[in-house]
Structure 1
Amino acid sequence: MTTNKTLGVVGLGSMGYGAAVSALKRGVPTWGLDTRAEARERFVADGGRSTASLAELGANCDVVVVLVVNAAQTEDVLFGEGGLAATLKPGSVIVTSATVDPTLPPLWEARLAERGLWLIDGPVSGGAKKAAEGQMTVMASGKPEAFAAAGALLDAIAGKVYRLGDKAGVGSTVKMVNQHLAGVHIAAACEGMALGMRAGADPDQLYEVICNSAGMSWMFQNRVPHILAGDYTPLSAVNIFIKDLGIVLDAARKLQFPLPLAAQAHQLYLATAAAGHGGEDDSAVIKFYAQLAGLELPKAAA
């Protein structure tokens, strides 16, 4: 990809690191920012430029993707001391990618416009693997001028970029629905596997059959192997879905819209965290069922 624009990525976690490296592989000059020195050093070793300073990142980048954990961190990156609102050149573009309440991006858009900056409300999906392959999905909304100013840099980090509207907030609305479904599907996958195991089904055979039957979901196919391997290393943690389904439920409450399935799934994640598994992979919801039913789950290989 030929471009005279420089990309910045704030947050070199599993998604952010993959996005930044994907951009590098596609020939985009890329800066990465992270509070962890080891993440910055790793990115430099892969050919990028790195900093711990938002001011330095802002001074060197035309488009910045903010891949942090939540709305509070996003607001600090945008408007905190030395934040991007004060350091980016007028005409630059900020892509906010955390899962947040859809009412927030329009407020950020208006505040950044006062500084001559564009906002794209661009949450992402696909997990660490697709991020590393440059194949994650971006659910983007914003003014046409924002997309024009970003050029092809969104395509440098994604396999699919959906343009969902000409104002911020639409992208986060679509991501909210995605997280609603993802959270419910993971909880259902864990419940179904626990049920089958309690009834005496072989878990490996159960997984294979369901993956080739109508009950299969992408989350079932993706998460159950973690259970079968006894590996709960957090690719996406239980605590993430406590946060994300909390956002979904709060938004639905404002709309006076009932979400009984999301509410029950949220309680399952809370129960799993209360049992001490909040920092583990979200497939650890099955441990809640195992504790209730006295199930012995597959063990990790030595």
Structure 2
Amino acid sequence: MSKTLGVIGLGSMGFGAALSALRRDVSTWGFDLNPHTCERFAAEGGKVAGSLADLARHSDVVLVLVVNAAQTESVLFGDNGIAAHLKPGSVVVTAATVDPTLPPQWEARLAERKIFLIDGPVSGGAAKAAAGEMTVMASGTPEAFAAAGDLLQAYAGKIYRLGDKAGVGSTVKMVNQHLAGVHIAAACEAMALGIRAGAHPDELYEVICNSAGMSWMFQNRVPHILAGDYTPLSAVNIFVKDLGIVLDAARKLAFPLPLASAAHQLYLGTAAAGHGQEDDSAVIKLYAALTGIELPQGKEAA
């Protein structure tokens, strides 16, 4: 008998993950607090649960793709949380970026109910999620992976098994977010410098993309700046949160992170200036405010 996937959190990445599973003929239930999102999922052929308990009763594997640790804990153990309603042998995959010390605690609490946990944060953004090509950084017991079967492959392009206990996946995701946050901030700073010095933004972008200074984040985010379009594909506030997690973890390890600290201040400053809900490339707006440079205009100015 085929297993059923439940997806809690039908945001940009959760919606894409759920649709990818449907396209791969996996029976998929979804739950979200946004009725419009649930209606969209139902229109695509997905099954919509009326509550967390309802989704838990129908699912063998539950992907929890919410915003943060607090929401994850609420979904798992809050009032009407799924832990009380999943059948023994079920698997929970937690996918939010969280402090790596938390998944082992969730793993232990779920084990008391004979429920498995896979610490499985994801990377790739909305586009990769919609294409079923997200990277999953997973850790958990061999029994947890055996119980999950092929359901991780239903929404992922690459799955890395990183250890036999929860926490390792979140550690690797934390390192990824360190790099991503620093690279985006550096890309914004570099473009601002080039504009201030008189380089044409489009030409600057093209040259750097074909030179040693190029990073994936530079290549991916600078087009938002060139188009003057700061519609949030990944918001500034996400990196306020994620680099905060990185810095908190490093502080516990007495590990210095001067680059991450500087980048975090840039995201905080951008959020304080009123751009927290905009795309993370809006960090360049902080430089524009400080230096008076004129940024490319697009649909925002139209």
TM-score range normalised by the length of the shorter chain: over 0.9
Q: 1:172 deviation in Å?
A: 0.2
2:93 matched residue in structure 1: 95
2:34 matched residue in structure 1: 36
1:264 matched residue in structure 2: 262
In 2, the alpha carbon distance for the partners of 1:7 and 1:261 equals: 39
In 2, the alpha carbon distance for the partners of 1:68 and 1:92 equals: 19
1:154 matched residue in structure 2: 152
Amino acid at match of 2:18: A
Q: 1:196 aligns with which of 186, 194, 197?
A: 194
Q: 1:299 deviation in Å?
A: 1.0
TM-score (norm 2): 0.98
Q: Cα–Cα, structure 1 residues 231 and 52, in superposed 2: closer, same or farther, change >3 Å? A: farther
In 2, the alpha carbon distance for the partners of 1:233 and 1:52 equals: 31
1:299 matched residue in structure 2: 297
Q: What pairs with 1:86-125 in structure 2 (closer than 5 Å)? A: 86-125=84-123
Q: Is the 8 A contact 1:34 1:52 kept in 2?
A: no
In 1, the alpha carbon distance for the partners of 2:50 and 2:36 equals: 11
Amino acid at match of 2:47: R
In 2, the alpha carbon distance for the partners of 1:189 and 1:296 equals: 17
Q: 1:52 deviation in Å?
A: 3.8
Q: How many residues align?
A: 300
In 1, the alpha carbon distance for the partners of 2:290 and 2:273 equals: 11
Q: Kindly, what percent of the aligned residue pairs are identical?
A: 79
- In structure 1, list runs of 5 or more residues that go unmatched: none
- In structure 2, list runs of 5 or more residues that go unmatched: none
In 1, the alpha carbon distance for the partners of 2:41 and 2:113 equals: 30
Q: 1:171 deviation in Å?
A: 0.1
- The question of 1:229 aligning with 2:230 is answered no
Q: 2:216 aligns with which of 215, 218, 221?
A: 218
2:8 matched residue in structure 1: 10
Say what the alpha-carbon RMSD is for the aligned residues.
Answer: 0.7
In 1, the alpha carbon distance for the partners of 2:52 and 2:120 equals: 20
Q: Is the 8 A contact 1:290 1:296 kept in 2?
A: yes
Q: Is the 8 A contact 1:119 1:142 kept in 2?
A: yes
Amino acid at match of 1:116: K
What secondary structure sits across from 2:117 in the alignment? Answer: strand
- The question of 1:72 aligning with 2:62 is answered no
Amino acid at match of 1:202: H
Q: Deviations over 1:184-209 (max 9, x none)?
A: 00000000000000001000011111
Q: 1:81 deviation in Å?
A: 1.1
1:274 matched residue in structure 2: 272
What secondary structure sits across from 2:158 in the alignment? Answer: strand
